[in-house]
Chains A and B, each alone.
Chain A
Amino acid sequence: MELCSFLTLDSFITDPLTHDFMRKALLMSSLVAAVCGFLSSYLTLKGWALMGDAVSHSVMPGVVVAYALGLPFSLGAFIFGVGSVALIGFIKQKSRVKEDTVIGLVFTGFFALGIVLVSKIKSNIDLHSILFGSPLGISLSDVKQTIFISLLVVILLSVFRKDLMLYCFDPRHAKTVGINVFFLHYLLLTCLSLAAVVGLQSVGIILVVAMLITPGATAYLLTDKFDNMTLISVLSAIISSLIGIYVSFWFDLETGGSIVLAQTFIFLFAFLFAPRYGIFKLKKLFAG
């Protein structure tokens, strides 16, 4: 039945918009995608993909505890996100275990704690929506939190845009000319935790790291200018969200997975056909 209705592209796009939950999902996911995409440029250049994975998994117990206590879930997630990073730093400094090992064991530990807590704390927490996201079922209070956090991250990243770029590129120079590198380090981590919090609503804890690295990686293949990289990253993240939600609506697929798959396909496209850095350099093909 549904298949008949997208014989025209027009109805493919407009039909879902008649549903209130779809309009909300499209708007919120675009906002979240924009925030994660913005941050993504910094994370991919800084080489913090694993850190992004760690923080996003570590917020799990925070979300559960916050729900159980009736607090904003973003608060719990933020505390555990930053806490995991502090713990990683502490263990790395005080032991001979290598950093990637420490990251792996800390975030899986936090994640496991979250899962155990869900099974123990009797509440109406939907494990599935935490793990896989539920952009279609987002509540009004979640909408408010998401908008607030997104704006906060965008403002922070915009104000410190150039300093963060310098921090990623050459922290030693930043320090030498009196720029507070310590502050920038924790600013980026704070933004990472906050972005993971909003991102998990769209695609869930397990896949949120994709929101934080794939758009940046795609953009990195397409440009040599930092500002363009940020722009492309944000745009590709938003487009992926829209595609993912539409596709999941029409074909009844898991929404979070669809969004991330759309990002992956866009990355693969860039990987194959990026003008300068693709496998088949489009520019050369056109030039003959």
Chain B
Amino acid sequence: METINYQNYRIEAENICVDYNGKVALYDANLRLQPGQICGLVGMNGAGKTTFFNALTGFVNISKGKIRINGESVRSAQKDQTIAYVPQNEGIDSQFPISVWDVVMMGRYGSMNIFRCPRESDVQAVKHAIERVDLTDHLSTPIGNLSGGQRKRTFLARAIAQRASILLLDEPFSGVDIRTEKLISELFIQFKNEGKTILLSTHDMIHVREFCDLVLLINKTVVAYGETSEVFTPENITTTFGGISPDFLFGPES
């Protein structure tokens, strides 16, 4: 009998269910991720991708099952700043009067005092994070004046400044320019080497093959989960997308 050592897993979701007022959004979903793994979360709109993220961050409560983050509860993961969430560009109000610097500083809020006064270490963390996403020229730019790619990088910098060991990214490649895409893929390799665990949702099948060690196909529940090379098959993809053939999804040339 194999005993599970939770410490080995960054994310451990066991048979989790989420429902909104009786409407089931996700059921019996399982996921185990180790440090340094990159996992793609693939499914249709409404398949429960965002719900899965919300459950892991504690933004919604699970009605059944168990979630362990680094062997601890979601609540203590929140306290320890373990998880960073990088929202979809559509998920934020781009007209909010706030600068790049202030957004990235929000990554430090959880570890500051109640007035959220930045210490020298917070300032350094923010500076460093902004450098890593190549936005040093835009420190005080309002986010409304940024391009989609720059905005995406701002939120990535926030996750870096947070020093989280787990990154959840909602559609990281949608609506970004080539330069940002290249920068994000370089960051992924760095994150992997730092032992961070990444879970990303995407519509783009090519990105899954390119970046993801593992893939989790969901349609309200897990359709398939495992090594990308084994699980990411046309049959599984067809099942995930409710019978639509991969030819249609990839285009005839693939």
Pairing of A with B = yes
Residues of A within 8 A of B (CB): 45, 93, 159, 162-163, 165-166, 168-170, 172-179, 220, 223-226, 228-229
> B97's contact among A173, A174, A226, by CB below 8 Å, is which?
A226
In the bound complex, how far is the Cα of B78 from the Cα of A177, in angstroms?
A: 5
CB pair A229–B58 under 8 Å, yes or no, is no
> Is B81 among interface residues, defined by CB-CB distance under 8 A?
yes
> Is B21 among interface residues, defined by CB-CB distance under 8 A?
yes
> Is B102 among interface residues, defined by CB-CB distance under 8 A?
yes
CB pair A170–B87 under 8 Å, yes or no, is yes
Interface of A is mostly: helix
CB pair A178–B110 under 8 Å, yes or no, is yes
Residue of B with least CB distance to A220: B97
CB pair A159–B96 under 8 Å, yes or no, is no
Closest chain A CB from B208 CB (angstroms): 24
CB pair A226–B87 under 8 Å, yes or no, is no
Given contacts A165-B98, A220-B97, A225-B99, 4 further A-B contacts (CB under 8 A): A45-B96, A169-B93, A176-B58, A177-B110
Closest 5 A/B residue pairs (Cβ) = A177-B110, A178-B78, A224-B142, A162-B116, A176-B57
Closest chain B CB from A161 CB (angstroms): 8
CB pairs A–B below 8 angstroms (8 shown): A93-B21, A162-B109, A172-B57, A173-B106, A175-B59, A176-B57, A177-B78, A177-B107
In the bound complex, how far is the Cα of B93 from the Cα of A226, in angstroms?
A: 14
Residue of B with least CB distance to A174: B109
In the bound complex, how far is the Cα of B93 from the Cα of A166, in angstroms?
A: 12
CB pair B59–A172 under 8 Å, yes or no, is yes
In the bound complex, how far is the Cα of B99 from the Cα of A14, in angstroms?
A: 43
CB pair B142–A225 under 8 Å, yes or no, is yes
Most buried by A among B75, B81, B96, B110: B96
CB pair A177–B81 under 8 Å, yes or no, is yes
Residue of A with least CB distance to B80: A178
Interface string of B102-127 (1 = CB under 8 A from A): 10001101100011100000000000
CB pair A226–B102 under 8 Å, yes or no, is yes
Q: Which residues of A contact B142 (CB under 8 A)?
A: 224-225
Most buried by A among B21, B79, B98, B110: B98
Q: How many A-B residue pairs have CB under 8 A?
A: 76
Closest chain A CB from B24 CB (angstroms): 17
Q: Which residues of B contact A228 (CB under 8 A)?
A: 97
Q: Which residues of A contact B21 (CB under 8 A)?
A: 93
In the bound complex, how far is the Cα of B87 from the Cα of A177, in angstroms?
A: 14
> Is B144 among interface residues, defined by CB-CB distance under 8 A?
yes
Residue of B with least CB distance to A224: B142
CB pair B110–A169 under 8 Å, yes or no, is no
> Is B83 among interface residues, defined by CB-CB distance under 8 A?
yes
Residue of A with least CB distance to B170: A172
CB pair A226–B98 under 8 Å, yes or no, is yes
Residue of B with least CB distance to A158: B115
Q: Which residues of B contact A163 (CB under 8 A)?
A: 109, 116
Q: Which residues of A contact B54 (CB under 8 A)?
A: 172
Closest chain A CB from B247 CB (angstroms): 36
CB pair A176–B84 under 8 Å, yes or no, is yes
Which B62-110 residues sit within 8 Å CB-CB of chain A? 75, 78-81, 83-85, 87, 91-93, 96-99, 102, 106-107, 109-110
| A224/B78 contact (C-beta < 8 A), A163-B109, A170-B106, A175-B57 known | no
Q: Which residues of B contact A165 (CB under 8 A)?
A: 98
Q: Which residues of B contact A220 (CB under 8 A)?
A: 97
Q: Which residues of A contact B107 (CB under 8 A)?
A: 177
Q: Which residues of A contact B197 (CB under 8 A)?
A: none
Closest chain B CB from A37 CB (angstroms): 15
Residue of B with least CB distance to A45: B96
Q: Which residues of A contact B110 (CB under 8 A)?
A: 177-179
Residue of A with least CB distance to B79: A178
Q: Which residues of A contact B97 (CB under 8 A)?
A: 45, 220, 223-226, 228-229
Closest chain B CB from A242 CB (angstroms): 26
CB pair B78–A176 under 8 Å, yes or no, is yes
In the bound complex, how far is the Cα of B115 from the Cα of A165, in angstroms?
A: 12
CB pair A172–B109 under 8 Å, yes or no, is no
Interface string of B205-236 (1 = CB under 8 A from A): 00000000000000000000000000000000
